[in-house]
Amino acid sequence: MKEFTIKPISLEITSHLKSKIDLKTKPLGALGRLEEIALKIGTIENTLTPKLNAPTIIVFAGDHGISSEGVSPYPQEVTYQMVLNFLNGGAAICVFSKQNGINLKIVDAGVNHDFLIPSSLINAKIAKGTKNFLKTPAMTKEQCENALLKGASIVKKVIEEGSNIIGFGEMGIGNTSSASIIMSLLCSIPIEKCVGRGAGLDDSSLKKKMGILKQAIQKNSHHFRENNPISILTTFGGFEISMICGGMLQAAELGVIILIDGFIATSALLVASKLYPTILDYCIFCHESDESGHGMMLKYLKAEPLLHLKMRLGEGTGAAIAYPLIKSAVSFLNEMASFDEANVSEKL
C-alpha cells in the first residue's frame, strides 16, 4: 500500500492569527464559529492572509453488491442514472456547486454500467461494482489498494491544477450499509446503533437491513481484523469509499483543506484517520447528516460540524452548502478593518 507523509500542522502562526482576529472591529469572539474557521484555515496555510483557490468537490460513484439483498429502497441502476444526472447538471450538488462557484468533478469509481457517451466523467472504474459482502469480501486487497491509489492520483491532479480546498461527495446505492459496518467496527459501536434508513427505508426494511449487516459481519469474521482498517475497508467497503479515503490522504499530504461531507464521506475519513491520525488537522466538518449514525461518528472523531440541516442526501451537498460560511471566515480575516485601521476605540 502507498505510504503517505502527513505532517502535523505547525502552530507557530496561531498566536499571530488569534491576535489579528481579536483586533478586528468587533467584540472578542463575536463572530463565533467563523473565527474558529479563519484560525484553522490560516494555520493550515501558515499565513495571516489565507486564500481559497479553485474550490472543488469531487463526487465518486460506485455500485455495491450488497444492494441485491434489498438494503436500499432504490434499485442499483439508480447509481448510473444519477451519474448521468450529475453530468447533465441536474442534481442538487450541481446546483449548489454552480451557486457557490465550486468546480465539480464526477468520477466513475466502480459503477455497474458502461458510459459510452463522450463526457467530462473521469473514468477510474475498478470493476462494475463490489461483490456482495454477505457472501464474500466486497473486493480484493489489490482492488482496494488500486482504488486508494486512483483516488490519490485524481486529487493530486486537482491540486496541481490550482485547488487548495477540496470536498468529497459520493453516489452509490447501498453505500450506507458499507459505511455502517465500517463505523461499527472502527468505533466499536454495535451495528444496530450504526444503521440508518439510508435512502428512506421503512421500519420493517430497516430491521431487515440491520439483520443482514449483522449477519455479514459474522460471516466475514475470518476475512478482517478489527485493528486493521484496510482489511475492514476491503471486506465491507465500496470502490467510491476507498477512492475518497485515498483522495483525502493525498490532500492532507499536500497540505490542502479537506471539506468533510456526510455519513459516507466521514466513514472514508474514519479509515484514513486510523491510518494517519494527523489527517484530522486538515479537515473542516461541514454538516451533520440526518443519517442516524453520523452524529455518533462525529462525536467519536471529536468533530463539531458547521451545520445541521437534517440533510441526508450525500453527493457532497453538505460541503457545497457550507462553503459560503468558510469563504466568509477567510473574507473577514483578510478584509475586515482592525480597531487601529478604523480609528475605533477598543474595549477599556
Residues 6+ apart with CB under 8 A from 250: 4, 151, 152, 153, 155, 156, 159
Instruction: Give me the catalytic one of 145, 315, 335, 341.
Output: 315
- Written as nine digits, the cell of 191 is 451495528
Q: Are 315 and 92 in contact (CB under 8 A)?
A: yes
Q: What is the helix (H) or strand (E) element at residue 296, kind and residue range?
A: helix 294-300
Q: How far apart are CA 267 and CA 289, in angstroms?
A: 12
Active site annotation includes 253: no
Phi and psi torsions of 62, nearest 5°: -160, 150
**Beta-sheet strand order (sheet of 103-110):** 122-123, 103-110, 56-62, 165-171, 257-260, 283-285
Residues 6+ apart with CB under 8 A from 315: 59, 86, 91, 92, 93, 169, 170, 171, 261
- Give the DSSP per-residue string, 182-232: HHHHHHT--HHHH---TTT--HHHHHHHHHHHHHHHHHTTTT--TT-HHHH
- Conformation bin of residue 129: beta by default, left when phi > 0, alpha when psi is -120 to 50: left
- Written as nine digits, the cell of 306 is 458547521
Which 3 state secondary structure label does DSSP give 130?
Answer: coil
Q: How far apart are the first and last CA of the chain?
A: 58
Q: Are 134 and 26 in contact (CB under 8 A)?
A: no
Q: Are 329 and 40 in contact (CB under 8 A)?
A: no
Phi and psi torsions of 32, nearest 5°: 50, -125
Known catalytic residues are 315
